[in-house]
Homo-oligomer: A and B are copies of this chain.
Amino acid sequence: MLIQIDFSSEIPIYQQIRNEIVMGIADGRLQPGEKLPTIRALADEFGVNTMTVNKAYALLKQEGYIIADRRAGASVAGTPKGGITTEYAQQLRLLISEAKLQGITQEEFLHYCATIFQELEGTQP
C-alpha cells in the first residue's frame, strides 16, 4: 500500500489520504475485508499528526468505504452506501467542460476514461 502525500498541495492532507485509499480500493490494491494500517502507523509513515489520519478514516467510514471495528481496527468494506449524488454529477460535468475547452473531443475523452477503467480492472485479482 504505497501512498504519496504532497504537502505543498492545496488539497488537505486528510483528503489526500482519503482519496488515495479510495483509489487503492478501486484498483484492487486494497481488498474488501482487508485490514487497514492503524491510525498511528499511517501517521508515522507520512509524518503527519494522528488527528489528520483520524479525520481521513472518519470520512471514509462515514462514506461507507471502510468499517471501523473497535477491537481489530479498520477494514475495507464490501460495498459503500451513497450512490451518485448531484455533487458528483457537478464535478464530472466540470471536468468534462474543462476537457472540451482544451480541445479534447468526446471520442478522445471516452477513450481516456476507458483506459483508466482498464487500469483499475487490470490489477484486480
Q: Knowing A70-B13, A109-B113 touch, does A102 contact B120 (C-beta < 8 A)?
A: no
Q: Which residue in B12, B79, B114 is a CB contact (below 8 Å) of A70? A: B12
Say if the beta carbon of A43 comes within 8 Å of chain B: no
* Complex contacts, A13 vs chain B, CB 8 Å: 70
Nearest B-chain residue to A98, judged by Cβ:
B22
Question: Are B92 and A116 in touch, CB under 8 angstroms?
Answer: yes
Looking across the interface, which residue of chain B has its beta carbon closest to that of A97? B26
Known pairs A23-B93, A70-B13, A97-B23; A102 contacts B116 (CB<8 A):
no
How far is B67's CA from A84's CA once the two chains are assembled, in angstroms? Answer: 22
Bound-state CA distance A97–B27 (Å) is: 8
> Which of B19, B67, B103 contacts A79 (CB under 8 A)?
B103
User: What residue of chain B has the Cβ atom nearest to residue A74's Cβ?
Assistant: B8
Q: Does A88 lie within 8 Å of B98, measured CB to CB?
A: yes
The one of B26, B68, B94, B116 in contact with A101, judged by C-beta atoms closer than 8 angstroms, is B26
Q: How far is the CA of A103 from the CA of B48 in the complex (A)?
A: 33
Q: Which residue of chain B is the closest to A64 with respect to CB atoms? A: B101
**Given known contacts A8-B67, A94-B22, A101 and B88 CB-to-CB distance under 8 angstroms:** no
